[in-house]
Amino acid sequence: MNSDLFNEFTFFILAIFVGIEVISKVPTILHTPLMSGTNAIHGIILVGAILIAASANDPLHVALGLVAVVLATINVVGGFVVTDRMLEMFRGRQAPPKPDQKPGSTPKQT
């Protein structure tokens, strides 16, 4: 096993632990936005799609590369935009009123 491959494997293993650790305490209401956010992050495949598309030199590779770039771009752009739209709705509502709120202060005026 060469050292490059070994490095890659090291990153892979460490990233597994980081990935698990980083979201271990997520409230239920954020499950869907988080799913959508991670969905956008795997849009990183666009990097791979560009790498193969750029050097395409025969019709088969051109076709594969073009489709890969289109699909990956949809993933990354759509992923981030749709996540933002979901989270937009949480704006301003996330500080839950404390139960020991003073009786005089109404939590919401409309």
Partner 1 sequence: MKLAIAFAYLVAAVLFIVGLKQLSSPRGARRGNWIAAAGMVIALVATVPLLHFTTAGAVITIIGIAIGAPLGAISARRVKMTAMPQMVAAFNGVGGGAAALVAISELLSQSAHPVFAIAFPSALSIVIGGVSFAGSLVAFAKLQGLMTGTPLTYPGQQVVNAAIALAIVALVIAILTIASLPSFFVPLVILALVLGIAFVLPIGGADMPVVISLLNAFTGLAVAASGFVLGNFALIVAGTLVGASGTLLTTLMSQAMGRSLGNVLFGAFGAVQTGTGAAAAGGPEGKTVRSGTPEDIGTMLAYARKVIIVPGYGLAVAQGQHAARELADELEKRGVEVDYAIHPVAGRMPGHMNVLLAEANVPYEQLKEMDEINGEFKSADVALVVGANDVVNPAAHTTPGSPIYGMPVLNVDQAKNIVFMKRSMRPGFAGIDNALLYDPKTVMLFGDAKDSLTKLVAAVKAA
Site string for partner 1, 70-109 (x = CB under 8 A): xxxxxxxxxxxxxxxxxxxxxx-xx-xx-x-------xx-
What residues from 29 to 58 belong to the interface with partner 1 (CB under 8 A)? Answer: 29-57
Q: Residue 46 in contact with residue 69, Cβ under 8 Å?
A: yes
Of 54 and 102, CB closest to partner 1: 54
Q: Residue 97 in contact with residue 107, Cβ under 8 Å?
A: yes
Of 25 and 102, CB closest to partner 1: 25
CA dihedral (75, 78, 82, 85) in degrees, to 10, reads 150
